[in-house]
Structure formats: C-alpha cells, structure tokens
Amino acid sequence: MKFFVDTADVAAIAELAELGMVDGVTTNPSLILKSGRDILEVTREICGLVDGPVSAEVVALSAPEMIDEGRKLADIAPNIAVKVPLTWDGLKACKALTTEGFTVNVTLCFSAGQALLAAKAGASFVSPFIGRLDDINMDGMDLIADIRTIYDNYGFGTEILAASIRSVNHVTQAALMGADVATAPPDVLKKMAEHPLTDKGLAAFMADWEKTGQKIL
Ligand code: E4P
C-alpha cells in the first residue's frame, strides 16, 4: 500500500519524507486555508520534497474552467495530480485532462457508481471519503470493498485512494480491503507506530537494563 500525506504542512511532509514514508501528498482547499500559504507557492514547495504525485485541487465548478485551472496547476511541477470533484463537470474535466496526459485524482467520491464513472473517465486515482461516510452512519469501508470488487471485475487501472482517514484503524482496514493508497494526516501515520504493549515492553527492558549496571556507549 502506498502512503500519501493529507496535508499542506511542509514541515510535516519533510519529516515523514526523510523516513521514506511519503509516496505522495494530497491537498484540498481546506488544507490550503489551514496552511495560510499561497496555493501555487506551497504546492511548488511540496512537489520539490516528494517524488510521487502531489494532488492539487481545482476550485472552478464548470468543466472548461476546471480544465484551465488543471493546466495551470499541472504547470507547477511534473508530479502534480490535478484533483477534480466527482461531478458531471469534474468527469468531463477528468477526461480532457487525462487525454492531455495529466494525472487526475477524482475526489469527493461517496458511492461505487461514482467510482465506476471516474474509472471510465480515465482517472489515475479515485478518492472515496471514508471518514465522512462514517460521520453519517454509513460504512466507509464497505465502499472501498465495493470499488475494489468492481475495478477488479473489469480490470480498471484507476487506483483506489482511501481518503478522509481519521484513525489508524481506517488505514489498516483500507489496506485489508485492497485500497491501493491511503492518504492520512501526519498524526495518524505517526500513531501507527504506537502500541501500549510496545511501551510496556520497552519500560520493562529499560528497568532490567538499569539493574545490569552496564553501558553500551
Ligand atoms: C483527500 O484527498 C482529502 O483531502 C481528505 O482526505 C479529506 O479528509 P477530511 O474528511 O478529514 O477533511
């Protein structure tokens, strides 16, 4: 499974990238707002930090304007993935931009039918939003499983990018369901290293080591 970081926080991306944990980055208008930075400037900086796809989202609602914005965003760096919403206009923009050779991530996917359309429009990635489905008492993981089955049934190459991830469990469940990518906030990725038994075991080893009176360095 590939890990994308869902943030426009350059310092957080740099820290995880140093560990080789970052296969890509996803941003959205809310994350750009949170960063307090100019979209073109911060996206360029992120593209310089990671080799993989960096999703930058269009904000127009009509296909022709999305296409123009997509071209401008794609101009930032060769590893830009243009993010378009899963609307009819977004699908038109997806088709046009992929035909021009750009990488496209179709976002805000909440149903298997929408994911089928994204694949048919040539999307490189489709982003089903797990957490936001859970928020309305639906099971986001069922959606990942359904999309996996449908894409495998017909051999679609569109990668399933599990998004709106809020917990470590979301990441592991998405991996079990066969999502190709999980995009998660930096704190969720870091929490994956934590386990109470690891802490307990380490504390016991430290206590015993202290008793030996030895030193390694
Ligand atoms: C994905 O690309 C989105 O940026 C993101 O995962 C949305 O997550 P949220 O529902 O926690 O805002």
Which amino acid, 84? Answer: V
**Per-residue H/E/C for 38-78:** CHHHHHHHHHHHCCCCEEEECCCCCHHHHHHHHHHHHCCCC
Ligand 1 and 181: CB distance under 6 A: no
Query: What pLDDT, on the 0 to 100 scale, is given for residue 193?
Result: 96
Ligand 1 and 185: CB distance under 6 A: no
Instruction: For residue 164, report the distance from its CA to the centre of ligand 1, in Å.
Output: 4
Residues 6+ apart with CB under 8 A from 65: 58
Active site includes 83?
yes
**Cα dihedral sign, 185-189-195-199:** negative
Mean pLDDT in order along the chain per 10 residues (217 residues) = 98 95 97 98 97 98 98 98 98 98 98 98 98 96 98 98 98 98 97 97 98 97
Q: Whose CA is nearest to atom 5 of ligand 1?
A: 164
Ligand 1 pocket, mutate which of 129, 143, 159 (most atoms under 8 A from CB): 129
Q: Return phi, psi of residue 9, to 5°.
A: -85, 105
Among 2, 34, 83, 191, the active-site one is 83
Which amino acid, 28? Answer: N
Task: Delimit the domains of the chain by residue range.
Answer: 2-212
Instruction: Say how far residue 183 (Cα) sits from the centre of its chain.
Output: 3
Ligand 1 and 107: CB distance under 6 A: yes
pTM of the model: 0.96
Query: What pLDDT, on the 0 to 100 scale, is given for residue 147?
Result: 98
Contact 58, 83 (CB under 8 A): yes
- Nearest-atom number in ligand 1 for the CA of 26 is 2
Query: What pLDDT, on the 0 to 100 scale, is given for residue 150?
Result: 98
What fold, for 2-212? TIM Barrel (3.20.20)
Angle formed at CA 41 by CA 10 and CA 159, multiple of 5 degrees: 65
Helix (H) or strand (E) holding 119, with range, is helix 112-120
Instruction: For residue 37, report the distance from its CA to the centre of ligand 1, in Å.
Output: 18
Instruction: For residue 23, report the distance from its CA to the centre of ligand 1, in Å.
Output: 17
Q: CA–CA distance from 81 to each of 9, 135, 160 (Å)? A: 18, 27, 14
Three-class SS state of 87: coil
DSSP label at residue 164? S
Which amino acid, 152? Answer: D
Ligand 1 and 129: CB distance under 6 A: yes
